[in-house]
Structure 1
């Protein structure tokens, strides 16, 4: 193992009395500071009538507080040259800012303000609902996006973990201030929050500010979301389009599963780069698709493996047959050369993500929320390096034993049945 894979900077961690964790990493070579608050709640923590609420709350965070208007929030950050953003995913919501090191106090004050003192003005709420409805319509008009929403909904039928993050027009229109505040009181609790910062930062100073801004939040017991249960199935959306968009999937693994890294490597060797099997056979040899890739999406208690591609309607049957053959073959003869290449690519991806303060604080926050501790690059690389071809092939075979999920949109009348696809996975 090369030394550059295990170098780690010092990360200081303090837990406030109410359970909120503060983690900082001093990077002397960096003149800016990137900081953010990660909340361990996302779309899967919503009740059916709350579908899309996490995403709306993320939008509303910038629309005014008891101390600042929406304009003042933007001005206070941009007057010091900074930027501010937020994001919602299945299991997390984040609010981040980047400023010069000398302006950390400004950024932290704004973040604390929008998280604790947002007012959810009725006029701003109505306007932001309109913005999100436009966002929803854009997805509906974009087959490449719509198909992945359909894929998740089918793989985890009837469950929050499978629902699209945006919500539906009906739920979006129904949200009011009372619904928002009830969700915040239940989900935005200190024990599910991490304040992380990296760059030109001082730990003691940030802890003091965190105590002032967040220390009065009452501690509360976290509510666990419904356990994700993979169902599989199919959703076909015949439409008059130039191209068919297809996603074929199988039950994946949680990032806490001992076979997670083996499964990740299998997915990468199958369709993760220009030397992958699917790319070579589908794109380069047969010209059946402009692009094809495989992925493995892990969550805290479940996961989803998939292959996505777009092709002409006349080629959907051949594309599916070739894809199934590649998947089965990979479980039988993945080579040592392929494995070593995938390991190297995984290490590069891991280290590249740590080359910016933003990447570093995101990893720290997610690890603390998911594991309650930090996992070093050394530990990850050691687990990856310990894998051999037999373990990765077995991980692939484990995947292919499951019930498939199929989502397809466009000219798909020639697409094989789900039953025949399931048989093809058995070789």
Structure 2
């Protein structure tokens, strides 16, 4: 498998990985603009723009976009995250020109028809409602918002009903023109393709995109805090958060190892102690989300109302202990999981295209699997122990809970147990 990189004169990067044994390919455009690129009055516009890209261009209406890609057995999709937006297609290798043509069409020729916009705004209002109706998802939005209050990075990606309903075709066109610029865009392809073919198509279809710099994102500042919502639920949703590390930090991979050892799988501490030994919850996990200039480390548990008082001290105890008694075999298992996950992802053209594009946006170049594995292998027990102490004792905690009225988690209690600074709710 060969990875090649080129850049168009407008700054757009073209990165490919040829996987000659495959009859399929994934091609997509990843843009370094997402929810945290938005001004307050633009909250939710990145996600709405992602939806509207499929609702008609100067050459195709919404039905034609869907029918043309599906007529060759392909599929097309998109996703908005905090810092990026992706548009990608999975096709047979011979249909690469069609896929690139459709992707360029929706990103350079969308018309933002008012009627289509009104319908899609209504769809997103339903999506916002559906997210609220799933407390296991809603609690993560509130954790992020409480950790980074009043900042773009903390706002839910979907927006609010008020902001979504207020967007106009002109606002969408203005946001696209201002943020979808060559230097922050990557066209990535992986599978049964050749780099020169992808580059030629990129030059033909994306060469006219502007080359100016996109607006700078607002610097993020972790604050911590607490949030609770009363709902009559059978299962209480509890999340605890702490300041994590940005994705270019020397501790980035150590943070992933820490999350895996604490709550990354069935052999992790939290799963074994809380679920397997005591049966106090259905699900429990730890995670680390890295961003350009900060990160969020968290723990999530879903449990019954009557188990909260026993569950929370157990969670805090495991979090508290890991910086002192983390063992070499735990770190070895976590690193093995990370290596295996990386190597397994090499077999998927969609995973490869996505990974290559993220690496280009973050590092300006693709990282080899050998290079990433070397960084994972460098993580040692003492580094993870030190990082755990820094994360849990070095920042005020964030607490987000959804459950019945008499269920709560005191952030001051969490701070006292961790020896961390306290932050008023």
Q: After TM superposition, is the score higher than 0.5?
A: yes
Question: Does the CA-based 8 Å contact 1:241-1:411 persist in structure 2?
Answer: yes
Equivalent residue, structure 1, for 2:410: 417
Q: Which residue of 1 aligns with 2:381?
A: 389
* Cα distance in 2 for residues equivalent to 1:71 and 1:409: 40
Query: In structure 2, how many angstroms separate the alpha carbons of the residues matched to 1:407 and 1:187?
Result: 32
Match of 1:137, SS state, is: helix
**What's the offset of the Cα at 1:300?**
1.1
Contact 2:228 2:408 in 1 (8 A): no
Shift in Å, 1:414: 4.4
Q: Is the 8 A contact 1:244 1:412 kept in 2?
A: no
Structure 2 gaps of 5+ residues are 421-425
Deviations along 1:154-196, whole A, 9 cap, x unmatched?
A: 0000011011000000000000011111111110001111111
Alignment check: 8 A CA contact 1:21 1:194 kept? yes
Conserved 8 A contact 2:401-2:409: no
User: Secondary structure of the residue that 2:178 maps to in structure 1?
Assistant: helix
Pick one of 149, 161, 179 that aligns with 1:157. 149
- Are 1:198 and 2:171 an aligned pair? no
1:353 matched residue in structure 2: 345
- Structure 1: how far apart are the matches of 2:208 and 2:228? 51
- The alpha-carbon distance between structure 1 residues 210 and 318, as it changes in their structure 2 partners (threshold 3 A), is same
- Mapping 1:31-50, distance limit 5 Å: 31-50=23-42
Could you tell me which residue of structure 2 aligns to residue 124 of structure 1?
Answer: 116
Q: Retained in 1: the 8 A contact 2:180–2:214?
A: no
Match of 1:85 among 77, 80, 94: 77
Deviation at 1:44, TM superposition (A): 0.4
Whether the aligned pair in 2 keeps the contact of 1:148 and 1:247 (CA below 8 Å) is yes
Decide whether the 8 Å contact of 1:312 with 1:411 is kept in 2: no
390, 397, 420: which is aligned to 1:404?
Answer: 397
SS of alignment partner, residue 96 of structure 1: strand
Matches within 5 A, 1:144-183: 144-183=136-175
* Mapping for residues 58-69 of structure 1, pairs under 5 Å: 58-69=50-61
Q: Is the 8 A contact 1:243 1:411 kept in 2?
A: no
**What SS does the aligned partner of 1:158 have?**
coil
1:224-252: CA deviation from partner (whole Å, max 9, x where unpaired): 20011101000011221112100001000
Shift of 1:350: 1.3
Q: Which shifted more, 212-221 or 169-178?
A: 212-221
- Taking the aligned partners of 2:334 and 2:98, their CA distance within structure 1 comes to 43
Of 6, 17, 20 in structure 2, the residue corresponding to residue 28 of structure 1 is: 20
The answer (yes or no) to whether the contact 2:238–2:300 under 8 Å persists in 1 is yes
Separation of aligned partners in 2, 1:376 and 1:260:
17
Which residues in structure 2 correspond to 1:290-305 (within 5 Å)? Answer: 290-305=282-297
Per-residue deviation, residues 276-311 of structure 1 (Å, max 9, x unmatched): 110011101111101100000101111000000111
Q: Does 2:76 match 1:76? A: no
Q: Which runs of 4+ in 1 moved over 3 A?
A: none
Q: TM-score scaled to structure 2, two decimals? A: 0.97
Question: 1:214-225 residue pairs with structure 2 within 5 A?
Answer: 214-225=206-217
Q: Is the 8 A contact 1:316 1:412 kept in 2?
A: no
Unmatched runs of 5 consecutive residues or more in structure 1: 1-8
Report the TM-score, using the length of structure 1 for normalisation. 0.96
Worse-matched range after superposition: 315-324 or 41-50: 315-324
1:6 equivalent in structure 2: none
Equivalent pairs, count: 419
